[in-house]
Amino acid sequence: MRPLAALPLFLALVSASLDAPAADFTRETFDDSGFETIFDGKSLRGWHVSTQTGHSGASMHTSGGRWRLEDGAIVGSQDIPGNGGIILTDRHFGDFEVIVEMNNDYGPDSGLFLRSNERGQAYQYLVDYHSAGSIAGLYGEGLSGGIHVRNFNLLDEPSKIEIVDAPFKCPVTPETWPELWKHGTWNELRARIEGNPPQITTWINGVRFMEWKDVEKRHPDEGSIALQVHGGGDYTQQFVRYRNVRVKALR
């Protein structure tokens, strides 16, 4: 029998559980066989930094931001105020699915580039982890067509979002977003790109956030996988962090 002294605490816990938002999203189950680790946390072998993107203008394209190995992660930041760039795989991929784990500071603008070239032209999985930014939307980095689709915006702190109209509806509500996304811990980002014009699908922590298909061929069939530190401002003391990068070729 429950002691009467504990009854108020018990009722309070029940009330809190009833008031808490119920998760309104579905996590998918994946067949992750066939994935290859392309960053194992031990070295940056197989990756290189490009200074050729527009984000490296502050250094007159002599550097592409600061990228290093730290605690098993690729850690990036601007190397001088305003100067960023990309770190990308030496290998090129065509149709593929990629998984990365991310634990960025709230402030820097970043991205996961799909089929990138040295200039950073790519289909970009948004990792705009800052106020007014978004995650898992898509942007045509350096591509024609004005590609920019997102279904939510981050607000003044990472636990708060607002929903925006998009062809693919946001799968979470502002109330349940904190159930899915945990700031200060590692969150899983996943993207799949197939065909050309490509069909692109994105996920956050197993929840599908975007399905989008281009209407024309505007970029090569293959390219690198890249991670970005955005140029502009001064983000020399704020950092992006990625680890456990895995890829599965689909053709």
What is the spatial distance between Cα 76 and Cα 79, in angstroms, rounded to a whole number?
Answer: 9
Q: By C-alpha distance, which of 125, 169, 131 is closest to 148?
A: 125
Angle CA 174–178–182, to nearest 5: 145
Query: Above pLDDT 90, what percent of the chain?
Result: 89
Q: Average pLDDT for residues 139-146, to the nearest whole number?
A: 98
- The answer to the question of residue 17 being in a domain is no
What lies within 8 Å, CB to CB, of 5 at 6+ separation is none
Phi, psi at residue 57, to the nearest 5°? -65, -30
Q: Tokens for 65, please give them.
A: 């931001």
Average model confidence (pLDDT) for the chain? 93
What is the spatial distance between Cα 105 and Cα 236, in angstroms, rounded to a whole number?
Answer: 12
pLDDT in the model for residue 22: 58
Element (H, E) at 76: strand 73-77
Amino acid identity at 178: P
What is the spatial distance between Cα 154 and Cα 168, in angstroms, rounded to a whole number?
Answer: 17
Phi, psi at residue 245, to the nearest 5°? -80, 120
* Residue 119 pLDDT greater than 80, yes or no: yes
* Residue 6 pLDDT greater than 60, yes or no: no
Instruction: Using pLDDT thresholds of 50, 70 and 90, give the confidence band for residue 251.
Output: confident
Domain count, the chain: 1
Domain that residue 210 falls in: 24-249
- The answer to the question of residue 101 being in a domain is yes
- The answer to the question of residue 13 being in a domain is no
**Could you tell me if 153 and 137 are in contact, meaning their C-beta atoms sit under 8 angstroms apart?**
no
- The answer to the question of residue 43 being in a domain is yes
- The answer to the question of residue 14 being in a domain is no
Phi, psi at residue 98, to the nearest 5°? -130, 140
Amino acid identity at 8: P
* Residue 79 pLDDT greater than 70, yes or no: yes
- The answer to the question of residue 28 being in a domain is yes
- The answer to the question of residue 6 being in a domain is no
What is the spatial distance between Cα 71 and Cα 65, in angstroms, rounded to a whole number?
Answer: 19
Phi, psi at residue 76, to the nearest 5°? -125, 150
- The answer to the question of residue 160 being in a domain is yes
Q: 24 or 241: which carries more pLDDT confidence?
A: 241
Q: What is the CATH number of the domain that holds 225?
A: 2.60.120.560
